[in-house]
Amino acid sequence: MTTIAPPDVIDELLGVTPGSAIDELRARRPVTRANAQASYDALFTPEHPGTVSAVERFAVAAFVTGLHASAATQQYYAEQLANAATAPVAAESARALPQAVAAELGAARTSGPYGAYPAGPLSVEDRDGLRYRVAPERRDVLGARLASALEHAHLLVFRPREASPAALQALLDAGWSTSDIVTLSQLVAFLTFQIRVVAGLELLS
């Protein structure tokens, strides 16, 4: 991958300057600060990326942060997706992905969590909601892998109670390997963590 991460993405998202109140606050937890950036590096600029491309990683990130309606992080990852999609190593077809992901966000945004628990005591908390599927006219643009990844990410964000072997099989059927699926799940989990850290530090600032 050719994307170069800034020294600290969370600092960049917050516009942290050396010596500022937030900089000093984060400096009190240097290990936490370093680990957050190390997690970003491992997921978005890994030394050995495997079969999950930079374009796929940033497309999922732009989509997930958009679902969370996190303006700063969504803008950041949308820009990273645009950069990855136009990089010399990217396929020509990747150039249409930023617009396609943005269009999908318009149809995918909702509020949650919701979904159905397995039959039992928790069933009283069942709540119906959007069962997101990529629009047919954009499936060819996104490709089977990325379309299934966006649908699975939507499930993890809004309907985690409905995660199932069938949901994982849909990814396998679309060409995601078992290790790819682990990476995808880690991406969604990390982004949720990063969004919450940024939101909390914004309040403190």
Q: For the domain that residue 178 is a member of, what is the CATH number?
A: 1.20.1290.10
pLDDT score at 78: 97
Q: Is residue 125 part of a domain?
A: no
Q: Quick one: which of 103, 109, 87 has its CA closest to 141?
A: 103
Distances (CA, A) of 201 to 35, 69, 205: 17, 16, 6
Q: Is residue 140 part of a domain?
A: yes
Q: Is residue 109 part of a domain?
A: no
Q: Is residue 93 part of a domain?
A: yes
Beta bridge partners of 115: 127
Q: Is the pTM of this model over 0.95?
A: no
Asked whether 150 and 63 are in contact (CB, 8 A), the reply is yes
Q: Is residue 114 part of a domain?
A: no
Q: Total domain count for the chain?
A: 1
Asked whether 27 and 14 are in contact (CB, 8 A), the reply is no
Asked whether 141 and 52 are in contact (CB, 8 A), the reply is no
User: E-assigned strands of the chain?
Assistant: none
CA 125 – CA 129 distance, rounded (Å): 13
pLDDT score at 5: 44
Extract the tokens encoding 9: 């993405």
Task: Determine the distance from the C-alpha atom of residue 173 to the mean position of all C-alpha atoms in its chain, rounded to a whole number.
Answer: 21
**Domain housing 78:** 46-102+135-204
Extract the tokens encoding 168: 């994982």
Distances (CA, A) of 154 to 56, 81, 204: 15, 18, 29
Q: Is residue 40 part of a domain?
A: no
Q: Is residue 50 part of a domain?
A: yes
Q: Is residue 116 part of a domain?
A: no
In tens digits, the chain (205 residues) has pLDDT values of 445 445 799 999 999 999 999 999 999 999 999 999 999 999 999 999 899 999 999 999 999 999 999 999 999 999 999 999 999 888 888 999 999 999 999 999 999 999 999 889 989 999 999 999 999 999 999 999 999 999 999 999 999 999 999 999 999 999 999 999 999 999 999 999 999 999 999 888 7
pLDDT score at 129: 96
